[in-house]
Amino acid sequence: MSASARAASVNAYLDELAGQRRLSPHTVSNYRHDLETLCALIGELPSDSGFAAIETHHIRRFVAILHTRGLGGRSLGRTLSAWRGFYRWLVQRGMTTLNPVDSVRPPKSPKGLPKALSPDEANRLLAAQSENLLEIRDQAIFELFYSSGLRLAELAALDIGCLEDLLAGEVRVLGKRNKLRIVPVGSQAREAVALWAGQRACLAAADETALFVGQRGRRLGVRMIQLRLLRRGRAQGLPARVHPHMLRHSFASHVLQSSGDLRAVQEMLGHASIASTQVYTHLDFQHLAAVYDQAHPRAKRKPE
């Protein structure tokens, strides 16, 4: 099959995606790029092969080539998805008998480290003055996130009934897989929650059980909590887009830096496996490496 014939098949497929399936121009453009890459790789084979001549070992070889060119697991996954759909279309039209992409999977991408605030950034975020009732509520929420490492859904689900235990220094939450755990609450978080609790009745509906409520008097939703935290981070001039899970990561990494007790951090986060918590040891090493680079005389000396 000539290069022009391969291109014609690709164009027919893309026309169908755009016309009949009504995919967006951006998506069709991505598919075109991936399929043009496939055509180019086929054209590099010793014989001028058609789509029907391609077998699974060819696809695996193509993936290896693209991987050596710098494509990561996610990009290769998208590319394989485009190729798989195209070959499915070819099979339906009798232009080939087998889909050689079906059994091919991309290499796994390395997991990125969770983003955490530095202790100074966390203090800056929480140092803002509360000038109205909503900001008093927000301060209690943000202090509780950072103090106890709660998940967003766990914090949003807190009821007023937990207030007594919370002000005494601990909070009970129902985490993933309905696993109950008890997490300590620091003094600054307790003070912020106590201040909010004293004024909650000004917003809360009479029959509302939620600890944190919005302007309509009902339980504050997770999306609004995210938006309020993002707004606070921007107002305080933080470089990153601050989100609730970032405060959870910050809690875990800062406690681990101070204590070195991985098991305790695992319990407080509610991780079923220690492997989920071990990622914070990498964050801790990054902190130590940064301290080393700044403080060690041999680290600062440049080669002549």
DSSP-assigned letters across all residues of 111-124:
PPPPP---HHHHHH
d(CA 166, CA 194): 9
DSSP-assigned letters across all residues of 56-107:
HHHHHHHHHHHHHTT--HHHHHHHHHHHHHHHHHHHHTTS-S--TTTT--PP
176 is catalytic: yes
Residue 60 CB burial class (10 angstroms; 0-12, 13-18, ≥19): middle
179 is catalytic: no
248 is catalytic: yes
Which of 84, 218, 245, 287 is labelled catalytic?
Answer: 245
Please provide the size of the chain in residues.
304
300 is catalytic: no
d(CA 89, CA 125): 53
243 is catalytic: no
Interacting residues of 129 by C-beta distance below 8 A, sequence separation 6+: 135
Which of 200, 219, 232, 248 is labelled catalytic?
Answer: 248
Q: Which residue in the block uniquely carries the two structure tokens 């933080």? A: 238
The answer to whether residues 104 and 60 touch, using CB atoms and an 8 Å cutoff, is: yes
Which of 13, 31, 87, 280 is labelled catalytic?
Answer: 280
Q: Which amino acid is at 299?
A: A
Question: What DSSP state is assigned to residue 239?
Answer: S
302 is catalytic: no
Which of 105, 176, 231, 234 is labelled catalytic?
Answer: 176
Q: Which residue in the block uniquely carries the two structure tokens 């403080």? A: 295
Which of 6, 228, 232, 271 is labelled catalytic?
Answer: 271
* Tokens coding 106: 């991309």
Which of 6, 13, 137, 151 is labelled catalytic?
Answer: 151
The residues annotated with a catalytic role in the active site are 151, 176, 245, 248, 271, 280
